[in-house]
Amino acid sequence: MTTTLPPRAVRRCHHPVNLFHSTVYFSPEFGEELAGVGVTDPHAAYFAGRAAAMGAVGAGAVAGTFYNFNHALIARHLPAVWETASPADVLAARLRAVDRTVRRLLGDAVDSAELAEAAELALRATEACTRHARPLYAAHADLPVPDAPHLAYWHAATLLREHRGDAHLAALLGAGLDPLEAVVSHTATGTGVSPRWVLASRGWEQSDWDAAVERLRERGLMDEGGALTEAGAALREEVEDHTDRMDTAPYARLGAAGVERLTELAKGFLARAAAAGAFPRDLAARG
């Protein structure tokens, strides 16, 4: 039996679930816990924290699965970081950081029936995820599900994030958008990360950004003012539509009512986290 979901229901649900997952990487607790196992550089901590499920991988594997980071930046930290802390050490530190971060951001909601319900719904959705051609998701799918509801919800959010993310990379490749063109065009939609954050976190220079803008202009996807053209906006929408199509199964598993309920719960937890200072004020492309 095929479940029909309302238009864009998949991405509307994924968005707050994904952003809740990402709160840990902006938290002071993450840096503290990774420093506790010897990883003190913020870039090294992020690469190790997100890649550890794949094992002691090198820069190539991370560049391939993270997509929009400069390989040269990654290579400064991987595989050397594994000489300081093993993947198992990093995963344990990350989970401790998640525990502390979510408790700080959500307060007494950590023990609520609503969070337990969100965890149950999100985990049920992951039952329909697939490993093939999804390396970052597949690696995380082999990790055990934590017992505590707030950790189980974050774990499920991680699985749903990486499942969609792996599919999104295929959509970007199909659209002919290289790593930096993908970021530049996303930022131009007004829903991405600010250029300052991209350059600081992903290892690119302003000249790299400018060159990507020029390539997009040559394809007729951006205008002289740096805005997306009609063709550029259509291409970005097709990328998201293509991603939705490849990411439908987990949400179809829940059915329309289940997706609506998970979206409602996820938005509530995300709003509470954001109000508690989960994200930097200047993170977004537009205020």
Q: Tell me, what's the pLDDT at 176?
A: 98
| Residues in contact with 69: Cβ distance below 8 Å, sequence separation at least 6, in sequence order | 47, 62, 63, 179, 202, 203
| 167 touches 243 (CB < 8 A) | yes
Instruction: Give how far the C-alpha of residue 270 lies from the chain's centroid of Cα atoms, to the nearest Å.
Output: 14
Taking the CB of residue 210, how many other CB atoms lie within 10 A of it? 11
Q: Tell me, what's the pLDDT at 282?
A: 79
Q: Tell me, what's the pLDDT at 71?
A: 98
What does the pLDDT average to over 66-80?
A: 98
Q: What integer best gives the mean pLDDT of the chain?
A: 96
As a whole number of angstroms, the distance between CA 159 and CA 139 comes to 9
Q: Tell me, what's the pLDDT at 170?
A: 97
Q: Tell me, what's the pLDDT at 232?
A: 98
Q: Tell me, what's the pLDDT at 118?
A: 98
Interval 212-248: pLDDT, tens: 999 999 999 999 999 999 999 999 999 999 999 999 9
Q: Is 277 left (phi over 0), alpha (psi -120 to 50) or beta?
A: left
Instruction: Give how far the C-alpha of residue 173 lies from the chain's centroid of Cα atoms, to the nearest Å.
Output: 18
| 152 touches 102 (CB < 8 A) | no
Q: Tell me, what's the pLDDT at 1?
A: 46
pLDDT above 50 (res 255): yes
| 83 touches 39 (CB < 8 A) | no
Q: Tell me, what's the pLDDT at 286?
A: 56
Judged by average pLDDT, the poorest of 147-156, 171-180, 193-202, 215-224 is 193-202
199 burial type by CB count under 10 A (0-12 exposed, 13-18 middle, 19+ buried)? middle
As a whole number of angstroms, the distance between CA 9 and CA 28 comes to 33
Q: Tell me, what's the pLDDT at 2?
A: 55
